[in-house]
Amino acid sequence: MKRIYVNEEWCLGCHLCEYNCAFANSGLSDMALALKGKPIFPRIRVEDGEKISYAVSCRHCTDPICVKSCIAGALSKDGDTVRIDGNRCVGCFTCVLVCPYGALAPGENGVMRKCELCLDNACGEPACVKGCPNRAIVYEQRGEA
């Protein structure tokens, strides 16, 4: 399947992907209105190491441990995509406890938000990929399944 991959050598650590993600998922059409002066809850996060930075979002695992661990039946696999039903999530953080990538975090209302590849929002393709100034984030099929 196609996944989002990040080339750490090219990642500038600019955090633009976080803003693009939060904006794409805000449902608003004005970026300033959506993000300015507000805490943002992106579904992709830049990890800043000492010498490196790279963005992390859901890997859409073939065998996702978050789905199997969700105590609310809110996470599920829909085709190749791991989805969350925000209406069922109770914000217990069990998925945060089990995800080895650190790819889930709560949204503004305390329920979990995760990358769903911009399938449902107006962007139509991963906004982080589209807006990455150095093309460090790509959406492609690689060797493994």
Ligand X SMILES: Cc1cc2nc3c(=O)[nH]c(=O)nc-3n(C[C@H](O)[C@H](O)[C@H](O)COP(=O)(O)OP(=O)(O)OC[C@H]3O[C@@H](n4cnc5c(N)ncnc54)[C@H](O)[C@@H]3O)c2cc1C
Q: Which is nearer to ligand X, 14 or 92 (CB)?
A: 92
Contact 42, 17 (CB under 8 A): yes
Q: Does 31 bind another protein (CB under 8 A)?
A: no
- Say whether residue 71 binds ligand X (CB under 6 A): yes
138: left (phi over 0), alpha (psi -120 to 50) or beta: beta
CA–CA gap between residue 78 and residue 100 (Å, rounded): 21
Q: Which does 96 bind (CB under 5 to 8 A by kind): ligand X, another protein, none?
A: another protein
Q: How far is the C-alpha of 55 from the C-alpha of 5, rounded, in Å?
A: 9
Closer residue to ligand X, CB minimum distance, 104 or 136: 104
Sequence-ordered alpha helix ranges (H) in the chain: 16-24, 31-35, 65-69, 94-98, 127-131
Minimum distance, C-beta of residue 123 to another protein, in the bound complex (Å): 22
Give the one residue of 12, 28, 33, 52 binding another protein; rule: CB under 8 A: 52
The distance of closest approach from Cβ of residue 92 to ligand X in the complex, given in angstroms and rounded to an integer, is 6
End-to-end C-alpha distance for the chain, whole angstroms: 6
The residue ranges that bind another protein (CB under 8 A) are: 3, 5-8, 47-50, 52-54, 56, 59, 65, 68-69, 71-73, 87-88, 90-102, 104-105, 142-144
